[in-house]
Structure 1
Amino acid sequence: MQIRVLDGLDPVDAAARLAPLGHLTFLDSARDGGLGRYAYAAADPFGIFSVRGGRCFWDGERLDEPFVPALKARLAAFRQERLADLPPFQGGAAGFLAYDLARAFERLPPPAAGAGAVPEAVLPFYDVVLAFDLAAPRAFLVSTGWPETDPALRERRAGQRAETFLDRLRQPAPPTRGNPAIASDAWVADFPRDDYLALVRRTIDYILAGDIFQACLAQRFEAPLPPGFDGWAFYRRLRSVNAAPFGAWLDYGEVKVASSSPERFLRLDRGHVETRPIKGTAPRSADPQEDAALAAALAVSEKDRAENLMIVDLLRNDLSRVCRPGSVLEPALCALESYANVHHLVSTVTGELEAGRDAVDLIAATFPGGSISGAPKIRAMEIIAELERNARGVFCGAIGFIGFSGDMDLNIAIRTVTLAGGKAVVQAGGGITMLSDPPAEHEETMVKARRIFEAFAGSATGEAA
């Protein structure tokens, strides 16, 4: 392994310079604070693990094993120790796990429409990672030398690859083209407002009948992309209007993903597990007094706090499947956090991974996150499939990295856009409980979606604003 220390490097600019190498993964933080300490840019993977139609593939060739053993085997082949004093991701798999990957772990009904529109997972394997410690600030080019296994050949490859990436970083970034704005009336919802209100009422009926306690119901919006639309320019705009600690830009050719997520799904750091479920949302106001009042009302909302605590209980149960007995704790419950356009209630649940378990076991025990499915999880997901009808794709799945060291950090893919097939897809949802008010639930989804629509409407210059 070889390390190069780089000063004065901007993550966004560096990601743009690496993009021509192909299969760019940019794990970004556009929001100051401890949660957003690190950012990563990687390109030109030496292999790609993917899942399509329930089958696993390595570089396009079908694998015989199901998801868990197949991914475990690929990661184990490149196992390495984590170096101290560097950001945690030092080579490994990074990309997305779509919500629909849940069928790899549970028996669930297929969606009525949209299955296969995007893969269930795309995880490029990167031997070179540009890692940013934003608190320092400092960047590290980490070149592992994989997939060579002979020590001498691996060291030689690490040096050659480091020089290739350094040369790429010396080149000018490709120009960012301007984008024609996509007007707000171009977005078509899969449900008219009255139909969505009926779905909320149907979900409440399921709750009153005792099927579930809560479900996260979402709606979907689509708009055609203008010819030559520059996804990178759009992402730059999105990160400026909706700054978030767990952002991402993934450019995988036919499928591109832009995420400005505020929510961590799973972090695994030297055996320590953390999840930070968000449940409870209120809009923000430009008026400081009104904004403070909205935050205060959310903090004491009986409905939102109950919803949050239900999901905390679910996640405690999920983590207990793979964590040491007695190690699962809740150091923070219903803490108020404020973002660009919303206030949220956020809890923190932690645990210590059981000996013999790894990141893939942790995913299998918890995916998808309880905050975007419901409780009980399996029945809630069955109801979601029935009512939403469309496959969710990347939305409500996870984006992040699984390192060759065994460490992992994944977001919940909310406030996330998929660009594929000549169209943009935006989804937004909220948790439905017995106390939910259907018009208020519809408005919550619109509050979340409008910020993303604003990024499309304001992306004409391609510049951050």
Structure 2
Amino acid sequence: MGVDGYARFGRRTGRGAVEMVDLTREPDALGVGGVWFVVADFEGPVRAWRFAHVETGPEATSSLEGSRLPAEPWNGPASADWRSSLDEDAYRAAVVTVREHVRQGSVYQANICRILSAPLSPARGEPSAVALAQRLAAGNPAPYEGVIHVPALSGLEPVWVVTASPELFLRADRVVGPDGRVTTTVTSAPIKGTASTPEGLLDKDRAENVMITDLVRNDLHRVCEPGSVEVTSLLAVEKHPGLAHLVSTVVGTLLPDVTEPPGPWGAILGATFPPASVSGAPKSAALRIIGELEPVPRGPYCGAVGWIDVDAGTAELAVGIRTFWWTADSPHTAGGGPRLHFGTGAGITWGSDPEAEWRETELKAHRLIGLASAAD
């Protein structure tokens, strides 16, 4: 990959980043058109990069494992070097605190996360995001795998994110009805409920999924035609490497005035971000509790990663879970310097057991941390 950057997600591949905008400051900035690759931090900003060369369609659909890019070596951190922003005692205490908030009636569910970080040698410069992406694609294939890397030398605001996300945040599709009317359908598929096998999914997981699915419905109602929002699948079981999830799917039709130029992206993100499945219900109360209990920002973890095609009026964004990001300097981590980061968390309800929730965060991190720690 050259200094101008590389991005790959779903059916889109980009080379040569030429522009970056922050949609939190300029929600209508994508009106210029084209394909934009998006990385949204949980706390903001929501940044988008436009690339000079974009491939779309069958030639861009193969996985990163089988991509035409030459295989590159990945030299990850030592497995013993990872440190957590919350240790086990602190995380379990946070679970107890959330349960008290639930008892008091201020929140029904809150997603509590911790950030794992490990140092990388500054002498090596920016590590190869493509190499890590290829390693994850081979060892942990995911429906929304991707990589977005714009180096500091590109002259644009840099980004380094590799995701193996299993969760769809938002998909926008243009639909032509029998009467010739063109509408935009938006789909979200929140994950709530995780176990090592389907048999391990509990009633607590199912109740949590229903709560979050209802929150997604409420979010989409803010930008969709009345009566168009529906749950097309509830509590479906999806299997992924080493994990089983409960997934529900919510679909709605965007309001006509939302789809008018310069486009719906600012309105959609304003109504739905951050994703419901990684915040909680009610969302405003959950975000306040998250801010009180989590000692460091989540960054791209629990944000969003994907693309927006302005000209086609389509988009695909994953929830930024099972996601790595690299920073040249880490002010929130002891020792600072270049570090690789990975987030893991769990949804906390009244039915949560502190030890079981800690184990869930360990389960979600185990396979991917192992892949990223290995060296060629």
- Structure 2 equivalent of residue 456 of structure 1: 372
State yes or no: 1:334 paired with 2:235. Answer: yes
Which residue of 367, 377, 388 corresponds with 2:294?
388
- 1:302-313 matches, cutoff 5 A: 302-313=203-214
Tell me the distance in 2 between the aligned counterparts of 1:385 and 1:343: 29
State yes or no: 1:361 paired with 2:267. Answer: yes
Q: What do residues 212-269 of structure 1 show as CA deviations (whole Å, max 9, x unaligned)?
A: 0000000111100134243322221122222101111111214311110000000110
- Structure 2 equivalent of residue 414 of structure 1: 321
Q: Which amino acid aligns with 1:399?
A: V
Q: Which has the higher strand share?
A: 2
* Range with bigger deviation, 358-367 or 345-354: 358-367
> Kindly tell me: are residues 423 and 47 of structure 1, through their superposed partners in 2, closer, same or farther at Cα, counting changes over 3 Å?
same
State yes or no: 1:39 paired with 2:1. Answer: no
- Structure 2 equivalent of residue 49 of structure 1: 21
Shift of 1:174: 6.0
Partner SS for 1:46: strand
> Kindly tell me: are residues 356 and 438 of structure 1, through their superposed partners in 2, closer, same or farther at Cα, counting changes over 3 Å?
same
- Structure 2 equivalent of residue 323 of structure 1: 224
Shift of 1:125: 1.6
Identity in percent: 35
- Structure 1 equivalent of residue 166 of structure 2: 262
Partner SS for 2:269: helix
Q: Which amino acid aligns with 1:312?
A: T
> Kindly tell me: are residues 396 and 139 of structure 1, through their superposed partners in 2, closer, same or farther at Cα, counting changes over 3 Å?
closer
Q: What do residues 367-404 of structure 1 show as CA deviations (whole Å, max 9, x unaligned)?
A: 01100000000110000010002111111000111112
Shift of 1:341: 1.6
Which residue of 96, 107, 112 corresponds with 1:212?
107
- Structure 2 equivalent of residue 201 of structure 1: 96
Tell me the distance in 2 between the aligned counterparts of 1:173 and 1:390: 35
Which residue of 134, 146, 154 corresponds with 1:236?
134
Task: Give the TM-score of the pair, scaled to structure 2.
Answer: 0.85
Shift of 1:77: 3.0
* Range with bigger deviation, 403-412 or 431-440: 403-412
- 1:170-181 matches, cutoff 5 A: 176-179=72-75, 181=76
Tell me the distance in 1 between the aligned counterparts of 2:342 and 2:325: 7
RCO higher in structure (CA 8 A, sep ≥6): 2
- Structure 2 equivalent of residue 99 of structure 1: 42
> Are the equivalent residues in 1 in contact too, given 2:161–2:326 (CA < 8 A)?
yes
Q: Which amino acid aligns with 1:241?
A: G
Equivalenced residues, count: 337
Tell me the distance in 2 between the aligned counterparts of 1:376 and 1:173: 44
- Structure 2 equivalent of residue 75 of structure 1: 30
Which residue of 199, 219, 225 corresponds with 1:296?
199
Q: What do residues 112-139 of structure 1 show as CA deviations (whole Å, max 9, x unaligned)?
A: xxxxxxxx23311235311243xxxx45
Partner SS for 2:350: coil
> Are the equivalent residues in 1 in contact too, given 2:3–2:151 (CA < 8 A)?
no
Root-mean-square deviation (Å): 1.8
Tell me the distance in 2 between the aligned counterparts of 1:186 and 1:457: 9
Tell me the distance in 2 between the aligned counterparts of 1:435 and 1:257: 34
Q: Which amino acid aligns with 1:245?
A: P
- Structure 2 equivalent of residue 442 of structure 1: 358
> Kindly tell me: are residues 178 and 281 of structure 1, through their superposed partners in 2, closer, same or farther at Cα, counting changes over 3 Å?
closer
Task: Give the TM-score of the pair, scaled to structure 1.
Answer: 0.69
Which residue of 343, 351, 356 corresponds with 2:244?
343
> Are the equivalent residues in 2 in contact too, given 1:359–1:407 (CA < 8 A)?
no
Partner SS for 2:274: coil
> Are the equivalent residues in 1 in contact too, given 2:206–2:235 (CA < 8 A)?
yes
Q: What do residues 281-308 of structure 1 show as CA deviations (whole Å, max 9, x unaligned)?
A: 001xxxxxxxxxx31341xx21001000
> Kindly tell me: are residues 178 and 317 of structure 1, through their superposed partners in 2, closer, same or farther at Cα, counting changes over 3 Å?
closer
Tell me the distance in 2 between the aligned counterparts of 1:126 and 1:381: 33
Partner SS for 1:100: coil
Q: What do residues 421-457 of structure 1 show as CA deviations (whole Å, max 9, x unaligned)?
A: 2101111001001000110100100111111211123
- 1:415-434 matches, cutoff 5 A: 415-421=322-328, 422-434=338-350
